[in-house]
Amino acid sequence: MKKNLKYKRILLKLSGESLAGENDFGINPKILDFFSDEIKKVHDLGVQVGIVIGGGNIYRGLNSNGQAIDRVTGDQMGMLATIINSLALQSACESKGMFTRLMTAISMEAIAEPYIRRRAIRHLEKGRVVIFGAGTGHPYFSTDTAASLRAVEIEADAIFKGTRVDGVFDSDPEKNPGAALFEEISYLDVMQKNLRVMDLTAISLCKENNLPIIVFNMDKPDNLLKVITGENIGTSVRNIVQPNKK
């Protein structure tokens, strides 16, 4: 029996570090296999899936400080790291029988298609998993911002940010066992409380376009499926209208 879908087109944001698993760097094949299984569960329901994955498990542009590498070059190296991760995830998804397309903001026709908005939407409509690589193609912008931008462009219902914790907390739950989980929170509160859900540019872009962000634990089996079908998993970041006080 087909499940009811709360979201029909999503942008899934994964960190590069998540691919390393318990290692400090690199790509863990078991994590790739797990992520592709989770993506397939929602893809098989007819959900249109776009994906942006970071490159922090290989190289982070901000780490270039003190390495005789300027920020622009470091960010460009980080963009190339996202391509490596995207290729790995593409291969894992295709091994599960999904059709995919890798689209990149940097011209590299021998490896991936150039990003063209209308073509990306058409791929999604045809049931292909679309992976967006190389960030925005410009330095000084994170893959969080790239995810927000692509989500707005493809008219996604929401950004799904997969993390290793259960949602957005008032403090770091890995350091503070008493940290409180928010079921929902406004974009403004995220910025004012400096909760580091995504960077400020990404949050602002979502706020301006009224694009919800669902923050959830991607490491738990079936969590992505549960959120897609409307279960109360993780934290919803969105515009919250306060009731009028009389």
Identify the pLDDT of residue 166.
92
Residue-wise pLDDT tens digits, 171-206: 888 888 889 999 999 999 999 988 988 999 999 999
The verdict on residue 1 lying in a domain is no
- CATH number for the domain that contains residue 167: 3.40.1160.10
This prediction's pTM: 0.92
The domain of 30 spans 9-238
Identify the pLDDT of residue 1.
41
* Number of domains making up the chain: 1
The verdict on residue 31 lying in a domain is yes
The verdict on residue 244 lying in a domain is no
Identify the pLDDT of residue 130.
98
Nearest to 161 by CA among 113, 199, 189: 199
Identify the pLDDT of residue 240.
77
Residue-wise pLDDT tens digits, 13-39: 999 999 988 887 899 999 999 999 999
Identify the pLDDT of residue 62.
55
pLDDT beneath 50: ranges in the chain: 1, 246
Identify the pLDDT of residue 217.
95
The verdict on residue 78 lying in a domain is yes
The verdict on residue 3 lying in a domain is no
